[in-house]
Amino acid sequence: MKIDLVRGHLDALLLAALEDGPLHGYAIIESLQVRSGGALDAPTGSVYPALRRLERAGYISGEWNVVGGRRRRTYALTPAGRLALARERDAWGHFTKVIGEALGSHA
């Protein structure tokens, strides 16, 4: 599944990927693939700008680390990011309920 289909939800997906602990950018992409059973294909050209946007918003913090011998920026959820993720989950639950009802069968 191309990330274009979930573009409006990319920020929430990135926050969820960081829920269990800090990750560097490529590990976040891998986490999304694993969490989606391989269905999500998040290109770096979409993920890295979103990470910078989330950092500017205060939802994640980033710091440079050496991971596997390479210098990488590692991101972690902030308390504000955890609250934003909770709000996104609530909104997603409401959205899926409404759409499910609208698409339900008329038997």
We report the CATH number of the domain holding residue 85 as 1.10.10.10
Q: pLDDT class for 85, splitting at 50, 70, 90?
A: very high
Q: Residues 6-36: pLDDT tens digits? A: 667 899 999 999 999 999 999 999 999 999 9
**Which residue range is the domain that position 85 belongs to?**
3-101
Average pLDDT over residues 65-90: 93
What does the pLDDT read at residue 105?
A: 67
pLDDT, greater one: 4 or 33: 33
Region for residue 76 given its phi and psi (left: phi exceeds 0; alpha: psi -120 to 50; beta: otherwise): beta
What does the pLDDT read at residue 2?
A: 54
* Distances in whole angstroms, Cα of residue 13 to Cα of each of 38, 68, 81: 14, 25, 12
What does the pLDDT read at residue 67?
A: 76
pTM of the model as a whole: 0.86
Q: Quick check: is 107 in a domain?
A: no
- The total of structural domains in the chain comes to 1
Q: Quick check: is 106 in a domain?
A: no
Q: Quick check: is 97 in a domain?
A: yes
Q: Quick check: is 26 in a domain?
A: yes
Average pLDDT over residues 90-104: 90
- Biggest alpha carbon–alpha carbon distance for the chain: 60
